[in-house]
Amino acid sequence: MSSNKYLGIENSSTANLAYVVQYSKNTTDNLQWKLNTANNATVLVNRNSNKVIDIANSDQSSGVNPIQYMENDNVNQQWGLVSVGGNAYLIQSNLSNHYVLDDPDSSTAEGARMIIYAANGSTGSANQQWVLEPVSGGSPGARLATAKGTEGFRLSPNPASETLQVTGINNQHGAALLIIRDATGRAIRKIRTGNASITISLKGLQKGTYSIEQNGVAKQFVKL
């Protein structure tokens, strides 16, 4: 069972080597992350410290605690967001073991330190799955929350660069209305469709985090 808490830095530290932990949702920059890219991978930059999630000394042993460190774009700071469906992702290290960020023992404790661990199967377990929640203000960013139950339509691939496939659209009451919103919540595109699945062009969208909403259910996606 997931903790429904959010990734942050221990005690909102701005120092190198501070641990990556989980906290209950709040509006501080410590729980907000910018999604940068390096060598076709994702670099997770904390908005409070402007430092990135790092595996110290590239030690990819099972159970190692990730830290934050100044950005250098080395492989121990590179991560892949692996979609596992329902708007959830594994945050997978680009180091050779490809371990993922893990909430150890599915802890619900405030301030629990995260670890890296082998993914539990192709989709990971709930304590290894994370949801992107867009936030407003500044450059595009997101909160990273442990996965919760999701419903409704599905998005793939996610992250996406050119097109986004939307499946499982509920159009039982006529043409469905899909609303694309930017990180501030502003509606930037409205699409009506009578089909259960459509392909949406992402041409013209800046890199960042967006959401698609139908009937009050919103799913986030990342434009690369």
Longest dimension (CA), the chain: 56
Domains of the chain, residue spans: 6-146, 154-223
Residue type, position 29, single letter? D
Strands 141-146 and 154-156, how do they pair?
unpaired
Query: How far lies 183's CA from each of 15, 55, 78, 173, 222, in Å?
Result: 28, 28, 23, 29, 10
| CB-based contact 148:131 (threshold 8 Å) | yes
Q: What pLDDT does residue 146 have?
A: 57
Query: Residue 86 pLDDT > 70, yes or no?
Result: no
**Residue 48 half-sphere exposure toward CB, CA atoms < 13 A:** 21
Please tell me the CATH code under which domain 154-223 is placed. Answer: 2.60.40.3080
Query: To the nearest whole percent, how much of the chain has pLDDT over 70?
Result: 88
Q: What b-and-e string marks burial along 71-90, b requiring 16 or more CB atoms within 10 Å of the CB? A: eeebebbbbbbbbbebbbbb
| CB-based contact 22:65 (threshold 8 Å) | no
Query: Residue 101 pLDDT > 90, yes or no?
Result: yes
Q: What pLDDT does residue 142 have?
A: 65
**pLDDT tens digits for 7-27?**
999 999 999 999 999 998 888
Q: What pLDDT does residue 220 have?
A: 80
CA distance 76 to 94: 7
Q: What pLDDT does residue 149 have?
A: 37
**Count of Cβ atoms closer than 10 Å to residue 63 Cβ:** 10
Q: Is-same-fold flag (6-146; 154-223)?
A: no
**pLDDT tens digits for 132-158?**
877 755 444 567 655 443 346 788 898
- Extract the runs of DSSP E, i.e. beta strands, from the chain: 6-9, 20-23, 33-38, 41-46, 52-54, 67-69, 79-85, 88-93, 100-102, 115-117, 130-135, 141-146, 154-156, 163-167, 176-181, 187-193, 198-201, 208-214, 217-223
Q: Which residues, in sequence order, are bridge partners of residue 38?
A: 41
The burial class, CB within 10 Å (0-12 / 13-18 / 19+), for 35 is buried
Q: What pLDDT does residue 211 have?
A: 85
**pLDDT tens digits for 52-71?**
999 999 999 999 999 999 99
Q: What pLDDT does residue 137 have?
A: 52
Query: Residue 215 pLDDT > 80, yes or no?
Result: no
Q: What pLDDT does residue 136 have?
A: 59
CA distance 27 to 173: 37
Q: What pLDDT does residue 190 have?
A: 94
Task: Decide which of 2.130.10.10, 2.10.109.10, 3.40.190.10, 2.80.10.50 is the CATH code for 6-146.
Answer: 2.80.10.50
